[in-house]
Chain A
Amino acid sequence: MKYLCFGYLDVQQWLKLSPAEQNAMVDACFAYDETLKKDGHWVGGEGLQGPETAAMVRYQNGSVSVTDGPYAETKELLGGLLILEARDLNHAIHLISKHPGVKMGPWEVRPAADLAQMIRESEARRAKTRSGAAS
């Protein structure tokens, strides 16, 4: 079962750390990521650049608009995401609770939806549309 884990960063807490402490935290996070990879729990993951680098793409009044943001006024910013392979929710929680990043802000752990059935149904609908258009 795959779990998507969204790691939030408490910026105030992060800024309180000395550069040496920040380095130690980063090292511990990467080392733990290596452990997850070695143990076969790591499916994928990325750290994110700051929210000021983000673009919001919206479809509005028939055209696409691009804006900055989101400028969330929260003290916790989405800092990265991680996809884990785990037996169940408690197993995923256990794996994340050992992640050093958990000390820097909360993590949201969410199971991936199994869309296999939905995809099969959609494929059937599209195949029908195509064969209908061909005749």
Chain B
Amino acid sequence: MAATHPEGIPETVEALFRSESRRILASLIRLLGDFDLAEDGLHDAFAAALESWPRDGMPDQPRAWLVSTGRFKAIDRLRRAARFQVPLEAWTEPLAESIPDFLEEELEDDRLRLIFTCCHPALPLEASTALTLREVCGLTTEAIARAFLVSPSTLAQRIVRAKAKIREARLPYEVPGRKDLPDRLGAVLQVIYLVFNEGYSASSGAAVTRPEVSEEAIRLGRLLLELLPEPEVMGLLALMLLQGARGAARTGPAGELVLLEAQDRSLWDAARVAEGKAWVDRAMASRRIGPYTLQAAIAAAHAEATGASDTDWNRIVGLYTLLTRLAPSPVVGLNRAVAVAMRDGPQAGLALAEALMEARELEDYHLAHAVRADLCRRLGRAEEARASYRRALQLARQEPERRFLEGRLRELEKK
């Protein structure tokens, strides 16, 4: 028994809950085969610790003790439930009579399993984000609902449905094998990036960013990288660090949007930029380069410059060209057009942007119209610029973005 004074035990248990509860939950889900039963077991284990540790002393391996106890208590619950004939369906193994205690060194880190199951492609994306934030990050339903601007009951229903789907479809609780890994990892990365973007560029509402949400995504990215050091995981973490580093510079004193070229780069978080660049370099050196790594490399190229004038636009265009091959999308094409405009002048960029806009997909994308407006403005084609700013304004939902577009439109109307 480790020597911890009984008085300090409630604090120790609380600290253990904060640092270890997700890991213990992940193991209990594997051992019990059911999310809800595992949550009950987790609660019971910590309650038992509060009761018995002050009396019997701390176990040498508290995490293993908590997993063993949680499993035992959960199985005890199933037995009691069966006695009261309350049907409780769990696809658990037959109830063992004697339950072995675990040793910490034998106990796997099951959080990677948990992440892959929460982000299983059979679940809708919005269910995956909710489930991941609740089960892997330990956020409450209410906190996630606030972050995603939906009602708590809507979010609760997503989680209930997702758990039912996992149970009914018997989604495997495992890390996918080599063959499936790229696809399944892609789904996980997509969920994490979606969470990041929800904070970085809130899809609607008064504020441009909700930093807490993005921080959670970065924490999740770090955890994933610790568990699975794949290049694209490095790429995603780098991308989030580099984009997140600009947080303070993206909005002005009145909450207005400040574009990249006008940002005060001294406000960028230098430590984050340095860390992000280091991960980009490692991911690029792996020679297994994916779309997140390329986007991170673009962000790193911006971070290396002091402003638009000394930005290596040639490198950025090159990276966007690779990205359009690897992950073609009209939005990536639009970004490439902007980079080309910076390298070769607005006329070249506008030709590319307009060609892309002939495809219907960008029709309702406010930034496509804003890009066209900006390029026309720079070419002195004020009438076309005004029309495009108006169209962008009709489509933009975010208050600071709308104010920015209105400002540009007013400037043009003065002339």
Contacts and interface: CB of A to CB of B under 8 A. Distances in A.
B61 interface: no
A105 interface: no
Interface stretch (A11-19, A64-72, A85-93): A85-93
A32 B80 CA distance: 10
A22 B40 CA distance: 28
A31 interface: yes
A22 to B, nearest CB: 15
A28 interface: yes
Interface of A is mostly: helix
A40 interface: yes
Interface size class on chain B is: 20 to 34
Given A89-B142, A93-B156, A100 B86 contact: yes
B44 interface: yes
Interface in B75-112: 77, 80-81, 84-86, 88
Interface in A1-53: 1, 24, 27-28, 31-32, 35, 39-40
Interface-centre pick from B36, B84, B152, B160 (highest chain A CB count, 10 A): B84
A33 to B, nearest CB: 11
A128 interface: no
Contacts of A28: 84-86
A40 B143 CA distance: 23
B262 interface: no
Contact of B152 (A27, A31, A89): A89
- Pairs A-B, 9 closest by C-beta atoms: A88-B140, A89-B141, A88-B141, A90-B141, A31-B84, A89-B156, A90-B159, A89-B152, A90-B156
19 contacts: A28-B86, A31-B84, A31-B86, A32-B86, A39-B44, A39-B47, A87-B39, A87-B43, A88-B134, A88-B142, A89-B152, A89-B155, A90-B134, A91-B39, A91-B141, A93-B156, A94-B36, A98-B88, A111-B142
Interface of A: 1, 24, 27-28, 31-32, 35, 39-40, 87-91, 93-94, 98, 100, 111
